Amino acid sequence: MTAEFVKLEFEGPVALITIDRPKALNAINLQVLTELDGALTQILAHADARVLILTGGGEKAFVAGADIAEMANFTPMQGLALSTKGHQVFARLEALPIPTIAAVNGFALGGGLELALACDLLYASEKARLGLPEVSLAVIPGFGGTQRLTRLVGRNRARELVFTGDAIDAAKAKEIGLALEVLAPEALLPRCKEIAQKIASRGPVALAQAKRVMEAGADLPLKDANEIERQAFGLLFGTDDLKEGMRAFLEKRKAAFKNA
């Protein structure tokens, strides 16, 4: 089935997902979640994909939030089902074995910010506004925002944003460690593609292990986390890519990695 709101393209080793639902400022509903899930499946099946960039269609919004019109008359069980679906899809995004980049080109509110938080790296346009305004609707973030934001910017900043429901601009997002860079709107996607191409040139098996190790060790005692790193480091010496990378370094040439 052709996706209506989630567009997937491949530019060499870079996959690009665009949430494109302009009449609703790219708001997330059940259909968007289902289509996003399908796009992730296609990326996993694409052997040459090395990096994913995720952005919003148009100039106003990355993703302006979840679809309030769809949710307004939900029962508790329907609300739980929506949250469950969102958690499942965002967890799949977070667990992709390739690095992921959120190119936040406009409003990233509620579910939109939660989507960006499920990516590994976040770059923002000068026009971006980021926040979790759910409490103004008498609900809370339901796609992992309370947890991922806390882990990224710390308890106090996360509580301030969740409790007030306020949106912040891109400069403030960078100041608190939410965004890595703030760019002119026309420079955002080219910059993300530049970073993606650089990442794509590195050893893909090593990138997958680096991502796994950092995620797995984040909530563990340092001794246990270091053990995960130690094991992964040793295992990589059994890969063809490591042998190629080290040969290329010694021979002063560009490595030709094969993800093996």
**Would you please indicate which residues are annotated as catalytic (active-site) residues?**
114, 134
In this structure, how many other beta carbons lie within 10 angstroms of the beta carbon of residue 209? 20
Q: Are 110 and 141 in contact (CB under 8 A)?
A: yes
Where are the alpha helices (H) located in 75-184, listed in sequence order? 76-95, 111-117, 145-153, 155-164, 170-175
Question: What secondary structure does DSSP assign to 199-247, as a single string?
Answer: HHTS-HHHHHHHHHHHHHHTTS-HHHHHHHHHHHHHHHTTSHHHHHHHH
Secondary structure class of 34 (helix, strand, coil)? helix
Terminal CA-CA length for the chain: 32
